[in-house]
Structure 1
């Protein structure tokens, strides 16, 4: 039996098991595979919204994105689909109508010889990674998923009798866990999710970039006077995927955009890599010099505050500029909507 046949045969068994009749999406299951460093974590979808499927988090780092997604959904609405995508880092298996699945997926299913029929019954795999366009799984993923699904079918079946565990109030966040040994035997227990993972992605310990500029550059910009204005600043993904020059998986480029609220003018719009702190710092001081003055305050979207602060906090503190998180950037929100419409056209 080749990998595709084995994969879709297991997928059909998962579909027929109807786990979403009993599991809520926050009833996370943990499975420790013998040759896997971290446990694999699975969320079962469908009981609440009738969108049937599974989210497979390959390790603890990916699980932190699950909690980040929950946190952001609870405390603020996602402004766009691209913003929501940045909280996804996992493999999803969703069951869709036949007419809604991509042609490539249909060809794989057809070639496997495994039959699927009915509404919301056709499997679609998607690999999610922040900054990248949702993509098809690769052959390495197929082998991994076969190993997971073989264990998930029996584990989720057995744990059905223990789901009342998730209804109890817990001092720590625990999930049902099955640990497999190389000989196929297993032990059932509970897994305490580390506090750092529960905090999500953005609240994990952040390394603030040092000032990457020369003393001459800093002296020059420090001599600028404070202006009576506030800047809005954002570094966010643009929802139009771009294929890298060397090919491969399409990416969502990041755009640094700055607006001066005093005259309602966009003063910077430049594509950047969020990890290139030196480039971002240099753009800011060039803006200050071009505007002949420093803003006493720069406001940023609260959801991206940590990411932006990691690049700019030390620089702005030295320049006596306050970096302030806010729930919404009034001027840039409108500007970004107009830009998205432009890209769509």
Structure 2
């Protein structure tokens, strides 16, 4: 179990946030001027995105690992299929108004003897993880690393004040990364390297492997019980903005939805945790075929991850699986369901 941050570690984090705010590097840097800071403890690289150039939100987001880098890259390119709140993995400093603080944060600030005045001047820290509510309680390791990331972001920002676009000039896919070497007494010497991100694991393969083993006998019975072939079914799985409290930290559930394309009728839906979504999609599809005693002529999926999760079952059922980024019937049903659950 990770240790809780000490008072000293929290104070150093708030001091680093104050120095970052005073440097205001967002005046010449945008969220597209990405660079990395390697955590000396875990060796993982966090990719930093400075925000505030638009004059609305101010702070620093540190996206963890290559998966985090892909999230921010897709976000900047407009390729992200869902709200970043549901998919991003990052540590976030945001300069907010007093009323936006979590009660625990305000209590901590007072206990540290700190004070802030004015709008967009109160530092808030959040851990964002896929499918989870943004969380204000950080571990000691996260507090120490975020302190280092803020310090290094300020140094990089000041070094590139007159030429921020030089951060975009890495040869090939390389990005500037701040690396640390022990200097004795718990201190570090930092240097800059241009490095390519580590290879990204195949998320589609991961999604498929998360599906349960096929129940071949059940599939045979379902096919024998089917009396005919229906039309096209559309299906997908997506996060619902309805946090569920289970344990100390709420999570956002994923909804699996199956809709008849011609009529727009919702045939099946259900909620599950994000890591159980693939299994839930398989169960809903097979149960629906058993209940209706029919199989669809085609099964259309709206995301690659959903397609990968359903492919083994679709092949066993002899279903033609089609990927389509636009599912009109499912989109309409999804909007209705989200309004209902909101």
Superposed CA offset, 1:269-302 (max 9, x none): 222345445554343222112212110211222x
Distance 1:159 1:310 in 2: 43
- Against the structure 1 CA distance between its residues 294 and 45, is the aligned structure 2 distance closer, same or farther, given a 3 Å change threshold? same
Aligned length: 328
Task: Tell me, yes or no, if the aligned pair for 2:223 and 2:317 is still in contact at 8 Å.
Answer: yes
- Equivalent residue, structure 2, for 1:180: 180
Structure 2 residue corresponding to 1:38, chosen from 23, 28, 44: 44
Superposed CA offset, 1:145-166 (max 9, x none): 2233344333432343552323
Distance 2:98 2:236 in 1: 40
- Equivalent residue, structure 2, for 1:229: 231
Distance 1:41 1:16 in 2: 21
- Equivalent residue, structure 2, for 1:298: 299
- Equivalent residue, structure 1, for 2:271: 271
- Equivalent residue, structure 2, for 1:283: 284
The alignment's TM-score, normalised by the length of structure 1, stands at 0.84
Distance 1:37 1:4 in 2: 22
Task: Tell me, yes or no, if the aligned pair for 1:88 and 1:128 is still in contact at 8 Å.
Answer: yes
- Equivalent residue, structure 1, for 2:33: 27
Q: Is the deviation greater in 252-261 or in 140-149?
A: 140-149
- Equivalent residue, structure 1, for 2:339: 341
Superposed CA offset, 1:121-145 (max 9, x none): 2211111111111111324222332
Please say if 1:324 is aligned against 2:325.
no
- Matched position secondary structure for 2:218: helix
- Matched position secondary structure for 1:249: coil
- Pairwise CA distance, 1:190: 1.1
- Against the structure 1 CA distance between its residues 211 and 155, is the aligned structure 2 distance closer, same or farther, given a 3 Å change threshold? closer
- Matched position secondary structure for 1:142: helix
- Matched position secondary structure for 1:147: helix
- Pairwise CA distance, 1:228: 3.8
Matching of residues 117-136 of structure 1 within 5 Å: 117-136=117-136
Superposed CA offset, 1:38-66 (max 9, x none): 22321110113531110012333332322
Task: Tell me, yes or no, if the aligned pair for 1:267 and 1:287 is still in contact at 8 Å.
Answer: yes
- Against the structure 1 CA distance between its residues 63 and 75, is the aligned structure 2 distance closer, same or farther, given a 3 Å change threshold? closer
**Which consecutive residues of structure 2, in runs of 5 or more, have no partner in the other structure?**
1-6
Matching of residues 38-117 of structure 1 within 5 Å: 38-71=44-77, 74-75=78-79, 78=82, 83-117=83-117
Distance 1:58 1:42 in 2: 9
- Pairwise CA distance, 1:17: 0.2
- Against the structure 1 CA distance between its residues 274 and 9, is the aligned structure 2 distance closer, same or farther, given a 3 Å change threshold? closer
Task: Tell me, yes or no, if the aligned pair for 1:40 and 1:58 is still in contact at 8 Å.
Answer: yes
Superposed CA offset, 1:68-107 (max 9, x none): 4334xx24775xxxx3322311011111223333333222
Superposed CA offset, 1:302-345 (max 9, x none): xxx2221232101112322122222333233333333333333x
Distance 2:109 2:49 in 1: 23
The alignment's TM-score, normalised by the length of structure 2, stands at 0.84
**Which consecutive residues of structure 1, in runs of 5 or more, have no partner in the other structure?**
none
- Pairwise CA distance, 1:4: 2.4
- Against the structure 1 CA distance between its residues 138 and 195, is the aligned structure 2 distance closer, same or farther, given a 3 Å change threshold? closer
Distance 1:98 1:280 in 2: 42
